[in-house]
Amino acid sequence: MAEQKNTPQWLRRFAAQPLWVRLAALTALIVLIALISKWLVLLLLIALGLWPLTLLLGLGVLALISTRKGGRPWMRAWLGARLRSLAVPALSVVTALLIGALVIMLTDQEVFHALAQGQIGEAVALAFGNLTRSYVALYEGALGNPFKILEAIVRALSGEGLRPILSAVRGPSDSLVQSVPYIFAGLAVALGFRAGLFNIGAEGQIGVGWLVAVVVGFSFSGLPMVVHLPLAIAAGAITAGLWAAIAGLLKAKTGAHEVITTIMMNYLVFRLSDWLLCGPLEFTQGTCRTQDIAESAYLPRFLGHPVTLHWGFVLALVVAALTWWFLFKTTWGFELRTVGANPKAARYGGMNVAKTFVLAMFLSGCLAGLAGVVQGLGITHNIALGFQAGYGFDSIALALLGKSHPAGVVGASLLFGMLRAGAGRMQSVAGVPTEIVQIVQALVIIFIAAPAIIRALYRLREARREGEEVTIFSRGWG
Amino acid sequence: MAVQVEALGAVKTGPSKKDIAVLVLLLALGALFILLGGTGTQPGDRSVFTDQVLGDLFVLPSQATLYAVGAFCFLVAGLRLFRALDSLRSVLNWSLVILSAFAFLVWITAGTSMNLPGMVQSTLMAATPLTLGAMAGIFCERSGIINIAIEGMMLSGAFAAVAFASLFHSLWMGLLAASLVGGVMALLHAVLSIKYKVDQIISGTVINILAAGATRFLNLRLLEPAGLSTPGSFDPISIPILSDIPIIGPIFFENQPTVFIMLILLVAVNYAIFFTPWGLRMRACGEHPRAADTVGVAVNKMRYLSVVIGGLIAGIGGAYFSLGVVGTFEDNMTRGQGFVALAAMIFGNWNPIGAFLAALLFGFANALQVKMQIIQPVLPLINQPIPPEFLQMAPYILTIIVVAGVVGRARPPAAEGKPYEKQ
């Protein structure tokens, strides 16, 4: 294996140490990271806000490594392959944003008024002016204003403290916060896809996870955080997993198509939560909202107001890594992918297809549930009527965009998180409804799912079939 | 696929499993009615059913009626157990469904009175968009294209209805536009799933997302600023003479235009699909496209056509929500009814009449739920009123039961979901 050969010297030396040394070293590393997490996060946010600089720096370092004498030729090949496979997704997003721009321009009231008065030049100028304002707001909402960040850094260095930096990096922070539930929900759908299951029920499972985590969050008081927080997270995830496993069980035992059962189960959750939130769980009459959770169940935030980024982000990245490990490095993951690729072959090979369906739905539900858990414990600290934010349906786009690979899902989630965070600002600054993002997302799914459109538009060649293709079939109902 | 085969095998080798499930359900239902009769009503209670014109229609002793229906459930369970009267099974099943629905009515009206024709009419009203949506789904799926985009098509229809009705100051123009826009959304679904061979469930999801986003966006950005969002709603149309027939008249002949359209389409669609050569060809495309192609049916053309016709019908269903009820557009106003329509389609076994009956059942659950919010009958044993949300869950639970094959069996068109490529 190429990777084996390229394992750095220090890593091999580390692996040769006794177990307790390795464990102690890892623990020390984790504690150290946790201690300086605040500063790491601040650095991350600044790097995101100043991404052109960061990108240049990163590329420079990469170029240095890969061209160094006796360097890493595999790295160049690896990078090239990654960039090639990014062409269609990137162009899809760009095209969708362009169409979104067109929609914004064509629905502009001010432009209509100018046109009605016969001032065509004026109308065109207005259309482009308003569009620029909207997309600048979108950018600032998503990544902040780089000049403001630089200025804030200068001010902070001159002794004004962190406050100016915090408000300047609000954009990147909001994007990451929005991407957290996306990562979980996207992983949920992606894991389902890998098993050949189409989990449309993420929206409902999010609700279950959210609800249970919040209930656990406010039902106990006086527990230490190290007990309460993991308890709330696990309870939410596992309940959502069990809920989703019903669909897997029905498919395995009776052949009921998971798309129908999960759609119907979504609405069961919605109606049940309607009743619970305006009934037994309502805290103050007429609010249709639960009590706030105890502070020991809060997912802690890294920095002060207005940066709301919380530990759920780290949890999301860890879970994404675990999902990758599970899918590609474990026997169960292999069985799951085999069942997804060809259930008949899997059965012939002696795998338990029914068990795999149930397991896959359970894990998918756990992941989706976590999306609700992080919202409940990290952001809202309660659950209110109308909590459905569409993460569950967007997650199908994420899984497609990320080609059902955990790393791809994380990337796609960051992108969608940015869109969502930017849309909020675009609405308040330029008056463009946030739903434009939903339109853009729908277009992205169309282009990703039908790459022939993008290839025709940009005259791209058909991509070579590299490695395994993601297998998604509609196998009909029934 | 393999799982399906296994499931089929399981049913064949051990039929007792399914029968036991049905028996348990029947016994539970019977026990429920006896319980409702025993503790939910007083011995002297009477359920009075009235009509606006005729006054009291009939009066029933509540408790005795509930006991009788409960006993009937046990009777059917017994017949099932000994496999007696198997030839009458479907008659028995349907009378059981109707009697159970009626028993619920008797229970909630115990000691009071209820306008029975009014109840039937609100059932029919609630069933209208469901039936239209289900017919849209049937057209699509019978030709071999999965349609989970009924919700999106209806929502865009609801929006277009408001926009164009206010633009042209004509509700009928709104209805027409609703239908056309539903058709356009369906065309998108068709192009994606037939031409580009996109997974049909993904394509359907895209349409749902797009419809939800686009209607909200355009409503906020175009309709509301331009004052185009309140076209008003349809007045009921009463057909002369026929609407004067007591009881039946107000139910069937004095209604929203969409209800009439639904009833006419129901007959027309059923005829077109099952009694014309065209319908046979269309169904062949959904069952065995290769065979259809061999005898000269242009499979993909047929699929395009069917999907678009379905979209046109779904659009009308959408107009029901905006022009038929509230007279304005609200965000996400179809509220998942498109998925209930999908449920009705499956429940009705991809058959328009079956879907209509299923829609009536779901519509009844809805009407009952509205009624119960007013009367608030108390559930025995726990002494709590039934939350209306629980009745709203009925369509979803029933659909899960049906697709799982516990009661009846949903048999979708065989070639559904597979793009057809000519060889």
Would you kindly state where each structural domain of chain B is located, as residue ranges? 13-116, 130-351
* Cα–Cα dist A406/A132, whole Å: 34
Q: Is residue A287 part of a domain?
A: yes
pLDDT band at residue A464 using 50, 70 and 90 as cut-offs? low
Query: pLDDT tens for residues B99-146?
Result: 888 888 888 887 777 788 888 888 899 999 999 999 999 999 999 999
Query: pLDDT tens for residues A312-325?
Result: 999 999 999 999 99
pLDDT band at residue B93 using 50, 70 and 90 as cut-offs? confident
CB contact under 8 A, A256 and B387: no
CB contact under 8 A, B3 and A354: yes
Task: Quote the tokens at residue A97.
Answer: 């944003």
Q: Which of A412, A413, A409, A437 is nearest to A423 (CA)?
A: A437
Q: What part of A 403-442 touches B (C-beta under 8 Å)? A: 432-433, 435-439, 441-442
What residue spans of A36-86 are helical by DSSP H?
Answer: 37-49, 51-67, 73-85
* Cα–Cα dist B150/B131, whole Å: 11
Residues of A in contact with B202 (CB under 8 A): 396, 400, 445, 449, 472
On average, the pLDDT of chain A sits at 86
CB contact under 8 A, A267 and B206: no
Close Cβ partners of A445 (under 8 Å, ≥ 6 residues apart): A396, A397, A400, A401, B202, B205, B206, B209
Q: Which of A295, A286, A282, A149 is nearest to A220 (CA)?
A: A295
Nearest chain B residue to A440, by CA: B210
Task: Quote the tokens at residue A242.
Answer: 């069990």
pLDDT band at residue B225 using 50, 70 and 90 as cut-offs? confident
What is the per-residue pLDDT for B15?
52
* Cα–Cα dist B125/B366, whole Å: 10
What is the per-residue pLDDT for B102?
84
Amino acid found at B378: V
Task: Quote the tokens at residue A241.
Answer: 């997993």
For residue A195, the enclosing domain spans 177-431
What is the per-residue pLDDT for A76?
67
DSSP type of residue B320: I
Cα dihedral B274→B276→B277→B283 (10° resolution): -30
- The answer to whether residue A249 scores a pLDDT higher than 90 is yes
pLDDT band at residue B80 using 50, 70 and 90 as cut-offs? confident
Q: Which of B400, B342, B390, B338 is nearest to B366 (CA)?
A: B390
Query: pLDDT tens for residues A209-243?
Result: 999 999 999 998 888 988 999 999 999 999 999 99
Residues of A in contact with B389 (CB under 8 A): 271-272, 274-275
Assess contact for A424 and A435: CB atoms under 8 A.
Answer: no
CB contact under 8 A, B205 and A200: yes
Q: How many CB atoms lie within 10 A of CB A4?
A: 7
Residues of A in contact with B226 (CB under 8 A): 109
Q: Is residue A69 part of a domain?
A: no
What is the per-residue pLDDT for A7?
67
CATH number for position A190: 1.10.3470
Burial class (CB in 10 A: 0-12, 13-18, 19+), A408: buried
Exposure class string for B297-307: b at 16+ Cβ within 10 A, else e: bebbebbbbbb
Residues of A in contact with B144 (CB under 8 A): none
DSSP type of residue B379: E
* Cα–Cα dist B195/B142, whole Å: 18
Q: Give the DSSP per-residue string, B233-269.
A: -PPPEE-TTGGGSTTHHHHHSEE-HHHHHHHHHHHHH
**What would the mean pLDDT of A341-368 be, rounded to a whole number?**
92
* Cα–Cα dist A144/A345, whole Å: 51
pLDDT band at residue A85 using 50, 70 and 90 as cut-offs? confident
Of B203, B210, B403, the CB nearest to A261: B403
A395 near B CB under 8 A: no
Domain count, chain A: 1
What is the per-residue pLDDT for B282?
93
Assess contact for A474 and B200: CB atoms under 8 A.
Answer: yes
Of A266, A344, A449, the CB nearest to B199: A449
CA quadruple A222, A227, A233, A236: dihedral sign: negative
**Coarse DSSP helix, strand, coil percentages of chain B, rounded to the nearest 5 percent:** 70, 5, 25
Query: pLDDT tens for residues A128-183?
Result: 888 999 999 999 989 988 889 888 888 888 887 788 888 888 889 999 999 999 99
Close Cβ partners of A288 (under 8 Å, ≥ 6 residues apart): A277, A278, A282, A384, A385
pTM over 0.90: no
Nearest chain B residue to A108, by CA: B221
Assess contact for B338 and B215: CB atoms under 8 A.
Answer: no
Question: Which strands, in side-by-side order, build the sheet including B113-115?
Answer: B55-61, B46-51, B113-115
Least confident range from A329-338, B170-179, B280-289, B365-374: namely B365-374
What is the per-residue pLDDT for A463?
57
Q: Give the DSSP per-residue string, A265-330.
A: HHHHHHHHHHHHHHTTT-SSTTS-BPPPPPGGGSPPBSS-TT---BTHHHHHHHHHHHHHHHHHHS
Residues of B in contact with A267 (CB under 8 A): 336, 339-340, 393, 396
- The answer to whether residue A1 scores a pLDDT higher than 70 is no
Nearest chain A residue to B216, by CA: A435
Q: Is residue A196 part of a domain?
A: yes
Assess contact for A441 and A416: CB atoms under 8 A.
Answer: yes
**What would the mean pLDDT of A41-58 be, rounded to a whole number?**
87
pLDDT band at residue B79 using 50, 70 and 90 as cut-offs? confident
Assess contact for B215 and B156: CB atoms under 8 A.
Answer: yes
Cα diameter, chain A: 81
Task: Quote the tokens at residue B366.
Answer: 């809805």
Least confident range from A195-199, A305-309, A345-349, A411-415: namely A305-309
Q: Which residue has the tokens 């209110």?
A: A384
Q: How many CB atoms lie within 10 A of CB B168?
A: 14
Cis status of the peptide bond prior to B395, with omega within 30 of 0: no
Q: Give the DSSP per-residue string, B103-134.
A: HHHHHHTTTSEEEHHHHHHHHHHHHHHHHHHH
What residue spans of A107-161 are helical by DSSP H?
Answer: 109-116, 120-143, 146-155
* Cα–Cα dist B127/B139, whole Å: 18
What is the per-residue pLDDT for A182?
95
pLDDT band at residue B301 using 50, 70 and 90 as cut-offs? very high
Q: Which of B21, B34, B29 is nearest to B80 (CA)?
A: B21
**What would the mean pLDDT of A284-299 be, rounded to a whole number?**
88
pLDDT band at residue A112 using 50, 70 and 90 as cut-offs? confident
Q: Which of A78-87, A469-478, B302-311 has the highest mean pLDDT?
A: B302-311
Q: Tell me the count of A-B CB pairs closer than 8 A.
A: 186
CB contact under 8 A, A347 and B2: yes
CB contact under 8 A, A397 and B209: yes
Q: Which of A388, A386, A385, A338 is nearest to A360 (CA)?
A: A338
* Cα–Cα dist A112/A118, whole Å: 10
Close Cβ partners of A392 (under 8 Å, ≥ 6 residues apart): A185, A200, A201, A202, A203, A204, A205, A206, A266, A368, A371
Q: What part of A 203-222 touches B (C-beta under 8 Å)? A: none
B18/A390: higher pLDDT: A390
**What would the mean pLDDT of A278-293 be, rounded to a whole number?**
87
Chain A interface disruption, residue of B196, B389, B402, most A CBs within 10 A: B389
* Cα–Cα dist B81/B76, whole Å: 9
Assess contact for B200 and B335: CB atoms under 8 A.
Answer: no
Least confident range from A454-468, B19-33, B322-336: namely A454-468
CA distance B250 to chain A (A): 32
Residues of A in contact with B12 (CB under 8 A): none
Q: Taking the mean position of all CA atoms in its chain, how far away is CA B199?
A: 25
Amino acid found at B73: C
A10/B257: higher pLDDT: B257
CB contact under 8 A, A433 and B221: yes
* Cα–Cα dist B199/B203, whole Å: 6
For chain B, the distance separating the N- and C-terminal CA atoms, rounded to the nearest angstrom, is: 24
On average, the pLDDT of chain B sits at 84
